[in-house]
Amino acid sequence: MKKKTTLSRILSYVGKYPLSLVGSLLFALLSVVGTLFVPVFLGDAIDCIVAGNVDWVGLKLQFIKTAVAAGVAAVGQWLTSLCNNRISCNVVRDLRKDAFAKIGALPLGYIDTHPRGDIVSRVVADADQFSEGLLMGFTQFFTGVLTIVGTLLFMLFTNVKIALAVVLLTPASLLIARFVATHTHKFFVEQTEARGEQMAFAEEAIAGLKTTQAFAREKANEEKFDRLNARLEKASLNATFYSSLVNPSTRFINNLVYATVALIGAFDVANGIFTVGGLTKFLSYSNQYTKPFNEISGVITELKGAFVCAARIFELIDEAEEPSDQGLPSLGQAKGNVSLQNVYFSYTPSRKLIENLSLSVSTGKRVAIVGKTGSGKTTLINLLMRFYDVDKGQVCVDGKNVREITRRSLRENYGMVLQETWLKNGTVRENIKLGKPSASDEEMIAAAKAAHAHGFIKHMEKGYDTVLSENGTISEGQRQLLCIARIMLALPPMLILDEATSSIDTRTERKIGDAFEWLMQGRTTFIVAHRLSTIQNADVILVMENGRVVQQGTHTELLQKGGAYAELYNGQFA
């Protein structure tokens, strides 16, 4: 993304808060005016005590004026910071809100092909760094520009000759700052990319810690993390080192300006053109005039890093969403007639998967899908749920093309229990009611009993109010029972069971089998199974190979025919 585009988009977010922006400018102006008058009053106070003749009345008055000016500057600075903090926090909140909303609208293919840790890094770490850079920019940039303009006017009004000498020397600070900022941009890019890669790996390593320990890969993970950490360290040091050259370089110019003012002013004092108090004012103004150049130079380098972070967030926000289904009709309560007509699909164009697949399933039928790993079973489920759209052909429910109805209405008619369980951080009650929040506690308990989950739930410390974590607290089998209870409560018209009892012991599985038998009555059900003993009562069994249905029929028919199904079955029960 071009920097100009990034800047304009940042300004569009900032422009949503005009009151805070105007307040920041006004209070910054108030702070600068107060700061500019302090040297005036101090210079006049010095003139009140020159040559041993002290004007005590005048000195007291100047001290009072100085205190008032300093107080006004302090209050203005505090109010400016208040407005800037409000702008910064609101802008970052809006950015995060838009980024998270975009994540919900992204196609599943994006999530499948991008590291989750990097996505999290954009929403959290990059947003934080952008917030810090934006806050510094507002706090120091406005005040700095106003201070430069104000001090320049005061100096021109006081002594044109010295003011011109100061103005001629200060562009060197800007040239140095520009040179350093231009050459540090690439290092800030490397830093944010390395941070995203490191966070992605850390998220992956923590999520798969059991597997890592089981295969004794802790040392290998540590070594890889050290490499990523070293890369981030190098990029961060480069960014910090080169950006830190700005301050000492510009300070050298500032000291040169100060020395020039002191030298010219000393001659003017000796010649009676200047008073000692007047020279003091000018020295103070030369400091006030050059100091913002240091601050703005530092702000520029910080803003470089902030812009890189903002660009990464905008890159996420700009990702192509799933095609909008706004305005499309709702499916309503489905009867459960499902058909696939000449369907072609592949995740990548170079690797073909499903080709010319046709299938028709009537209401209430139980369809078992079997096949070797990679044959396309899960892909078929993804197409039924419209997690992915077909390349050619169409998937229909009750005669309606799923592309011509809303995704929400389609998915509300399906209930899924997968081999890979998912529970959110929340209570048992919240997890079971996820598919039907309006259900009563009596309905929830009935569903838990049907799934044979009520027994272990009531033995928990707080029963249905026990808080579960996403990855811990209960066993994998208990997690799967809660997912089954979730479906028992929702009672959708169509079911997808992908190894739904894979983590459950045989005895409990047999008990749940009765509940599933009741649940599947009158509901179109797709069962993905590796254990063929669980699907012998299916109305039709689809045997898939390389994305094609190579056989279909009942368990008995397929055994009699021989071929792929018979090989799978005999391989398990020989």
- Dump pLDDT digits (tens) for 464-505: 888 887 655 677 778 888 888 888 888 888 988 887 666 667
In a domain, 539, yes or no: yes
Task: Return the DSSP state at 387.
Answer: S
Query: Is 356 domain-assigned?
Result: no
- Both 281 and 371 in one domain: the answer is no
Cα 527 off chain centre by: 35
Residue 170: the pLDDT is 72
In the block, residue with structure tokens 């808060």: 17
CA–centroid distance for 503 within its chain: 33
How far is residue 374 CA from its own chain's centroid?
32
- pLDDT of 146-203, one tens digit each? 888 888 887 777 777 777 777 777 767 667 767 776 777 778 778 888 888 888 888 7
The interaxial angle of helices 246-270 and 218-244, nearest 10 deg, is 20
Q: Do 296 and 434 share a domain, yes or no?
A: no
Taking the C-alpha atoms of residue 277 and residue 90, their distance in angstroms, rounded to an integer, is 46
- Least confident piece of the model among 273-287, 337-351, 367-381: 273-287
User: Model pTM greater than 0.85?
Assistant: no
- Whether residue 219 is contained in a domain is answered as yes
Using one digit for the tens of pLDDT, what is the confidence trace for 238-277? Answer: 877 877 776 677 777 777 777 777 777 777 767 767 677 7
Q: How far apart are CA 143 and CA 40, in angstroms?
A: 19
Residues 280 and 384 in one domain: no
The residues near 348 (Cβ < 8 Å, ≥ 6 apart) are none
**Exposed/middle/buried for 15, CB within 10 Å: 0-12, 13-18, 19+?**
exposed
Same domain, 20 and 122: yes
Is 352 among the domain residues?
Answer: no
Hey, what's the torsion of the CAs at 190, 196, 202, 205, to 10 degrees? -100
- As a whole number of angstroms, the longest Cα–Cα distance in the chain is 122
Band (285; pLDDT cuts 50, 70, 90): confident
How far apart are the C-alpha atoms of 206 and 211, rounded to whole Å? 10
Residue 311 sits in the same domain as residue 421: no
User: Residues 308, 385: one domain?
Assistant: no
Could you give the angle at the alpha carbon of 548 between the alpha carbons of 547 and 551, nearest 5°?
140
Give dist(CA 108, CA 301) in Å, integer.
Answer: 37
> For the domain that residue 68 is a member of, what is the CATH number?
1.20.1560.10
Confidence at residue 396, expressed as pLDDT on a 0 to 100 scale? 92
209/94 same-domain check: yes
293 and 380 co-located in one domain: no
pLDDT in tens, 98-145: 989 888 888 888 887 888 778 888 888 888 888 888 777 777 777 777
In a domain, 355, yes or no: no
Sign for the CA dihedral angle at 227, 233, 236, 241 comes to negative
- pLDDT of the residue at 4: 54
Pairing outcome for strands 338-345 and 354-361:
antiparallel
> Per-residue pLDDT for 75 more than 60?
yes
- What are 560's two structure tokens? 């009699």
The two structure tokens encoding residue 469: 């974590």
442 and 311 together in one domain: no
Residue 50 has pLDDT above 70, yes or no: no
What is the CATH number for 491? Answer: 3.40.50.300
In a domain, 345, yes or no: no
Three-state SS at 12? helix
Tens digits of per-residue pLDDT, 414-428? 888 877 777 888 888
Judgement on whether residues 281 and 409 belong to the same structural domain of the protein? no
Yes or no: say if 417 and 512 are a contact pair by the CB < 8 Å rule. no
Query: Side chain identity at 173, as an amino acid letter?
Result: S
Beta carbons of 405 and 323 less than 8 angstroms apart: no
- As a whole number of angstroms, the distance between CA 124 and CA 92 comes to 10
Question: Into how many domains does the chain fold?
Answer: 2
- Residue at which a domain ends, from 255, 285, 317: 317
Please report whether residue 527 resides in a domain.
yes
Question: For residues 474 and 451, what is the distance between their CA atoms, to the nearest angstrom?
Answer: 16
Res. 9: pLDDT tops 70? yes
Which pLDDT score, from 0 to 100, does residue 471 have?
57
Q: Of the candidates 261, 293, 317, which is a domain's last residue?
A: 317
CB-CB contact of 500 with 418 (8 Å): yes
Q: Which region holds residue 129: left if phi is over 0, alpha if psi is between -120 and 50, else beta? A: alpha
Q: Where does a domain end: 317, 333, 352?
A: 317
E strand or H helix at 563: none
Q: Letter for the amino acid at 69?
A: A
What is d(CA 377, CA 439) in angstroms, rounded to the nearest whole number? 33
Q: Distance between CA atoms of 512 and 525, rounded to whole angstroms?
A: 16
Q: Would you say residue 91 lies in a domain? A: yes
Identify whether residues 533 and 413 lie together within a single domain. Answer: yes
Question: What percentage of residues in the chain have a pLDDT greater than 70?
Answer: 91
419 and 299 in a common domain: no
- Residue 349 in tokens: 């164009």
Range of the domain at 410: 363-391+400-573
Kind and range of the H or E element at 218? helix 218-244
